[in-house]
Structure formats: C-alpha cells, structure tokens
Structure 1
Amino acid sequence: MMRATLVATGKVQGVGYRQFVSVCAHNHGLHGTVQNMPDGSVQIIAEGSLAALDEFARLVWAHGEPEILVDGMQITQGEATGEFKGFWVKW
C-alpha cells in the first residue's frame, strides 16, 4: 500500500472539486481525505494500491469537468500509514 499527497491549484474551490475527488477515490477503493486549503488550493491525501493511485492522480485533473480548472498538481508519494478508514471530505 502506498500514500499519495496531492495539492491541486487553479479553479478548485467553490466548484464541486472536493466532491468530484471523493467520488473518484471511492470508485478506486482509496482511503484518505480532501480539503480546501487557506491559499486556495485543495489538498488530497489518498492511500491504496500503486495502480489505483496512478489512475486516481490522472482522474483528479478533472479534464472535461465544466466548472473545475486544475492548472497545477504537486504529488508526493510514500508508504501508507493506514490511518484512514474510508475517504472523507474535510470541511
């Protein structure tokens, strides 16, 4: 199991991006969180198989979503901690 921390920038707050990310995570069996950050970015922490995380990282660019515009994504990977049960949107 691996852990990916992704930070998305662009038009990602107030446009349903966290819900979009949550659906993608659930569809790929990932555990973790997604939350808005004070600087306008969105931080995603996801744990799962490397294959699932790779596909998830591709999907969360949200290409084709009319309101969402991700213009940058910083990704760091490491070992999973197992601290998450399910995937949650943090408010």
Structure 2
Amino acid sequence: MAVVATVSGRVQMVMYRDFAKRKAHSLGIVGEIENKPDGTVAVYAEGEQENIEKFIEFLKKGSLLSDVGNVAYQFVEPRGGFDSFYIQYN
C-alpha cells in the first residue's frame, strides 16, 4: 500500500520531517518527505496497510513543535524503488 500526502500548518523549521522519518523507520515504511516552497510538506510512503494507517494518524498529530493544520492524502499504487525513508533537501 502507498499514500501521498500534503501536510499544511506550521510544519517547516520545527523538525517535522525528521520526526516523521523516525516514525516511518519504526513502522517499516519506505518513501520520502520534503518541504515545499508554499510552506507545506509533501510525503510519499509505502508499507503494510496497518502501518500506513498508523503513519497517517502520526502525520496528523505532528511533532511537539509543529502545529498541523491539515493532512490531505490519497492512496496510490506503490511505485517501488525505495529501501528506506528519506528526507529530500531542496
């Protein structure tokens, strides 16, 4: 199972990506996360359905310093090619 998500709110410069990366690793999820120029964070994640659902709930809660406004997501076909969960730096 795979999901793409856009996270809005105060989610940049608050360790949100690192926090999400650690959670993804603990759930066995692979994919990537990156800051977007519009202030949102983009997420692509692949894993077992139960773990993806847990990860989405985690994204909604966010890190201690973040203030998540919304998580818009949709399930997609896995594209493969990932062996870990990566932070993309622009």
- TM-score (ref. length: structure 1): 0.92
Deviation at 1:66, TM superposition (A): 2.9
Aligned alpha-carbon RMSD (Å): 1.0
Runs of 4+ aligned residues of structure 1 deviating over 2 Å after TM superposition are none
Alignment of 1:31 onto 2:24 = no
What is the aligned partner in structure 2 of residue 20 from structure 1? 19
Q: How does 1:60-75 map to 2 (within 5 A)?
A: 60-62=59-61, 65-75=63-73
**Paired residues, what number?**
89
Task: State the SS of the aligned residue for 2:56.
Answer: helix
Unaligned runs of 5+ in 2: none
What is the aligned partner in structure 2 of residue 6 from structure 1? 5
Alignment of 1:54 onto 2:53 = yes
What is the aligned partner in structure 2 of residue 86 from structure 1? 84
Task: State the SS of the aligned residue for 1:21.
Answer: helix
Higher-helix-fraction structure: 2
Residue by residue, what CA displacement relative to the aligned partner does 1:53-73 show, whole Å, maximum 9, x if unpaired?
A: 00000011235x431100101
User: For the residues of structure 1 that align with 2:8 and 2:54, how far apart are their CA atoms?
Assistant: 19
Percent identity for Structure 1 against Structure 2: 29
Unaligned runs of 5+ in 1: none
Q: Is the Cα–Cα contact under 8 Å of residues 13 and 36 in structure 1 kept in the other structure? A: yes
Deviation at 1:74, TM superposition (A): 0.5
